[in-house]
Structure 1
Amino acid sequence: MTGPTTDGTRAVTALDTTTDRLRVRGLDTGPADQVENVVVLVHGNLSSSEFFRRQLEALPDGWRGIAPDLRGFGGTDPAPVDATRGVRDYSDDVLSLLDALGVARAHLLGWSLGGGVVTQAALDRPSAVASLVLVDPVSPYGYGATRADGSRLADDDPGAGAGLANPRLVELLAAGERGEEDPSSPRNVMNGLYFAHGFRSPDEEELLTAVLSTRTGDDHYPGDAAPAAGWPSTGPGTRGVLNTLAPKHFDTSALTSLSDDGRRPPVLWVRGEHDAIVSDAAALDLAVLGGAGVVPGWPGEQEYPVQPMVAQTRAVLDAYAAGGGSYREVVLDAGHSPHVERPEEFAAALREHLEAAGPSGRG
């Protein structure tokens, strides 16, 4: 079933498509033969397409929303992740999904890790992108171990990647733990880090199920680790999700020159004002943790500075605009998940962006 439901929202159905890379599942508003006015919504780490259900329901008439589960999340095949390619295993999967569905050009929306995925897809196939929507995206220089200008602290990226993942969280994810007695439980991590102001989603159980769909291990979450010469003596390996964002593997700052024969797609940047995961002093930034004494031995700001993630994103988007592109920044009173915490405000910003950007067309 497609079209509006009895309460006026869009009907959301299951996506189940086999591409030339893997079997992709997720959510879709249809109709299946609509290849114009398409929005593709790509989720972040420790989540799935379920985090976009309410936004799919709120899409304007005439727009098709497709939210795939990335490999290793939700119902999509758990193919291994080669982190040496950055996020290209994910972005290539998204592009192959568009091919399988016959969609030549779409509006690409990415949240957190998904922001890096859709940016990489745009860089690799500019003609496929009608516009970009970046929701609390990972910095263009990855997560951890970079200076303000994006330069890397060292060749082995100390402190980035899978080596510092919380082993207790990994254990509880693998066990499917739904309780909240353990401080590291998936429920507590979701409610404490994804959301601000003590927000509890009315869809909490469904969202927790999405978090628990995360595959664990060296090929998925968190990935493998490697020794590093500098503090904290661990760095990224070559497999799994957290290593895809290590600066040695990931850099999407070439967004500054993105164009398709001179056409520069408009960008909407939506972020939560109280984001604890992606900010200029992120709660998970190793330098922040070191400065607070949580991780001992921090060598200080000179040697291991805090990564200003929002400032890095803004600098790249400013350069994109200076080169003839355009972007709009929307800041909502939310944490890392403004589409969940402030669904109506987010939907309004997305609707305005889509109307201004225009239809995706057939390429």
Structure 2
Amino acid sequence: MTITSRTIETARLKTAVLERPASGPAARQVLLVHGNVSSSEFFRDLMAQLPSDVHAVAPDLRGYGASEALHQSSLAIDATRGVRDWADDLRALLDALDWPQAHLLGWSLGGGVVMQAALDAPARVNSLTLVAPVSPYGFGGTHGAEGTPNSADFAGSGGGTVNGDFVRAVAAGDRSDTAGSPLDVMRKFYFNAAKFQPTPEQEQAWLTSMLQTKVGDDHYPGDLTPSEHWPQVAPGTRGVANAFSSKYMNLSGFADIQPKPPVLWVRGDADAIVGDASLFDLAQLGALGVVPGWPGAQASPPQPMLGQMRLLLTRYVRNGGKFREVVLPGVGHSPFIEAPEEFRAVFTEHLEGN
């Protein structure tokens, strides 16, 4: 079945999507939500492989891909709302598609977005699939399974924690393979390079997708606030990395939603981005001696991202929900790309059972 691209005018913004209709009546409507510094393009192969009765749509979130140019202040990311700007955009897209309900899949940052969408409108969600999802307490600056902040100002999270050279390379459209370039980062961290090698065509398409990310204080990575606490930066109020700071993003209420869609959590055991020793967490890099001045594990321990998600989903089950965790060996941050057959099998089973 052919995958097409189009732009859909929603009540909130013009959203670019990839779409693969069902062949015949659609038994299931599926929305696929990408992560940070990526776009719907990363889902192209998965969409082509889904069962024929699935109508799949993968949007480019605001600030990414080919969605409406977001240099207008009204379309900036208001980080003080956490990930709600994107979650509200998803519900507006569901309205424009005339989908009363859908199955939602969220990868990385997209995992937090679909959880927020379910928190705000649980009746619209038939099932949730979380693929290498961000912690329910955001990224960086917390400790313990309850997401306790390391400092009162949430230092160690937000726009100031993102590598500035990488941001400048994205803004410049850098297509080189030099150390720290977007292509180099994708090769080293989006996948487990020891086990997976994309084709040159895939790699270039995904790189193009990454370079479409809108850069600036209003978008990626966002602004920052100086801090007296290590690493001397705390969240600002605008942009992507601030939106998924635990100062503003807290999904702990997910355990209490009604009704409770069944949840599938799929991750790789070689994920270097989301894990209990993430190489993108400044506290972990401090512990490794990469970032100077680390004050030690008592003051700034690495964030236990997996433990935080597992505790929340365990509470979800105790409150009457269903959740299944699938760990794929040797797989990094992109299970649906690195292990397509295994991923498709568990995802299809999840859809067919709900």
Query: Which range, TM-score by smaller chain?
Result: over 0.9
- Matched letter for residue 352 of structure 1: E
TM-score normalized by the length of structure 2: 0.94
Task: Answer whether contact 2:23 2:53 (CA < 8 A) is retained.
Answer: no
Structure 2 CA distance for partners of 1:214 and 1:23, relative to 1, 3 Å: same
- Matched letter for residue 293 of structure 2: G
Q: Structure 1 residue 15 and structure 2 residue 6: aligned?
A: yes
Residue number in structure 2 paired with 1:242: 241
Q: Structure 1 residue 156 and structure 2 residue 147: aligned?
A: no
SS at match of 2:93: helix
Identity %: 51
* CA apart distance, 1:37: 1.2
**Partners of 2:46 and 2:163 in 1: how far apart?**
30
Task: Answer whether contact 1:35 1:104 (CA < 8 A) is retained.
Answer: no
Task: Answer whether contact 1:15 1:68 (CA < 8 A) is retained.
Answer: no
Cα deviation code 1:221-262 (max 9, x no counterpart)? 1110111221111111111111111111001111111212xx
* CA apart distance, 1:33: 11
SS at match of 1:38: strand
Task: Answer whether contact 1:95 1:121 (CA < 8 A) is retained.
Answer: yes
TM-score normalized by the length of structure 1: 0.92
Q: Structure 1 residue 67 and structure 2 residue 64: aligned?
A: no
- Matched letter for residue 298 of structure 1: W
- Matched letter for residue 339 of structure 1: F
**Partners of 1:34 and 1:115 in 2: how far apart?**
28
From 126, 146, 153, the equivalent of 1:130 is 126
Task: Answer whether contact 2:38 2:206 (CA < 8 A) is retained.
Answer: yes
Mapping of 1:91-240 within 5 angstroms? 91-148=87-144, 149-181=146-178, 183-198=179-194, 199-202=196-199, 203-240=202-239
Residue number in structure 2 paired with 1:360: none
Listed as ranges, the gaps of 5+ residues in structure 1 are 5-10, 358-363
Structure 2 CA distance for partners of 1:172 and 1:48, relative to 1, 3 Å: same
Q: Structure 1 residue 54 and structure 2 residue 51: aligned?
A: no
**Partners of 2:267 and 2:241 in 1: how far apart?**
21
Residue number in structure 2 paired with 1:40: 31
Task: Answer whether contact 1:26 1:74 (CA < 8 A) is retained.
Answer: no
Cα deviation code 1:146-185 (max 9, x no counterpart)? 111211122211110110211111111111111102x110
Task: Answer whether contact 2:264 2:323 (CA < 8 A) is retained.
Answer: yes
**Partners of 2:164 and 2:288 in 1: how far apart?**
20
* CA apart distance, 1:329: 0.8
- Matched letter for residue 266 of structure 2: V
Task: Answer whether contact 2:94 2:100 (CA < 8 A) is retained.
Answer: yes
Q: Structure 1 residue 25 and structure 2 residue 24: aligned?
A: no
Mapping of 1:340-359 within 5 angstroms? 340-357=337-354
Task: Answer whether contact 2:265 2:323 (CA < 8 A) is retained.
Answer: yes
**Partners of 1:15 and 1:192 in 2: how far apart?**
31
- Matched residue count: 344
- Matched letter for residue 166 of structure 1: N
- Matched letter for residue 306 of structure 1: P
* CA apart distance, 1:197: 3.4
CA RMSD for the aligned pairs? 1.4
Task: Answer whether contact 1:156 1:229 (CA < 8 A) is retained.
Answer: no
From 272, 277, 281, the equivalent of 1:276 is 272
- Matched letter for residue 238 of structure 1: T
Find runs of 4+ consecutive structure 1 residues off by over 4 angstroms: 31-36
**Partners of 1:167 and 1:226 in 2: how far apart?**
15
SS at match of 1:193: helix
Structure 2 CA distance for partners of 1:36 and 1:24, relative to 1, 3 Å: farther
Listed as ranges, the gaps of 5+ residues in structure 2 are none
